[in-house]
């Protein structure tokens, strides 16, 4: 049996963590990944809002066309015969939805709101903006769509992405006399 002297032993030092170079390398790699990946994730929110807008626009436009066809198949009724023709929806003389208040004309933002809520089955919260024309002032924070009108046009402005003054919000318009549903090409700058 050999005797080993404690002093003759070779001491092997065990590594007890990461070196500074390893830590810096990991931080640099994470920084590069965040610079590359973060913008992609940030755009998901914008893409989601755009998808909701486009889906709502398409659904609303299809609903207007369907209601017009219903009006035609029922013999193109006018006057009192055109009131409450479908789910309490009133129709104007051209066969387009004009509210739910026993009238054949869109005369208030509430008529536009009633049309929106009557023809669409959606979780979006729509509300009439109060006292500021086509702007978005005086809306509760949970509102997704600001509803206003002017002359023969209903305005549906999507404010769920931002309610900041100056933001260029997506908007579509319903011209109830002609039944046209059009996207406002350049959006609407919130006031």
What band does 61 get if pLDDT is binned at 50, 70 and 90?
very high
Q: What is the pLDDT of residue 34?
A: 83
Residue 144: C-alpha distances to residues 19, 20, 52, 128 (Å): 52, 50, 10, 11
Q: What is the pLDDT of residue 9?
A: 57
Q: Which of 120, 146, 9 is nearest to 60 (CA)?
A: 120
pLDDT in tens, 3-33: 555 555 565 566 678 888 989 999 999 988 8
pLDDT in tens, 151-191: 889 999 898 877 777 778 889 999 988 999 999 866 777 76
Q: What is the pLDDT of residue 104?
A: 64
pLDDT in tens, 103-149: 667 888 888 999 999 899 999 999 987 655 555 666 788 899 989 88
151: phi > 0 → left, psi -120 to 50 → alpha, else beta; which? left
Query: Mean pLDDT, the chain, as a whole number?
Result: 82
């Amino acid at each position: 049996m050999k005797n080993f002297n404690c002093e003759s032993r070779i001491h092997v030092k065990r590594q007890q963590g990461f070196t500074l170079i390893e830590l810096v390398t990991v931080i640099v790699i994470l920084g590069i990944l965040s610079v590359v990946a973060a913008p992609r994730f940030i755009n998901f929110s914008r893409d989601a809002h755009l998808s909701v807008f486009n889906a709502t626009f398409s659904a609303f436009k299809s609903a207007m066309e369907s209601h017009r066809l219903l009006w035609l198949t029922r013999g193109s009724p006018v006057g009192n015969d055109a009131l409450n023709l479908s789910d309490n929806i009133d129709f104007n003389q051209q066969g387009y939805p004009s509210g739910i208040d026993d009238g054949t004309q869109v005369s208030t933002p509430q008529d536009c709101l009633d049309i929106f809520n009557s023809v669409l089955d959606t979780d979006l919260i729509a509300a009439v903006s109060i006292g500021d024309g086509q702007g978005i002032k005086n809306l509760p924070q949970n509102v997704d769509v600001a509803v206003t009108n002017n002359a023969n046009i209903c305005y549906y402005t999507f404010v769920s992405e931002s309610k900041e003054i100056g933001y260029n919000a997506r908007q579509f318009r319903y011209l109830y006399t002609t039944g046209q549903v059009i996207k406002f090409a350049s959006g609407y700058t919130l006031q």
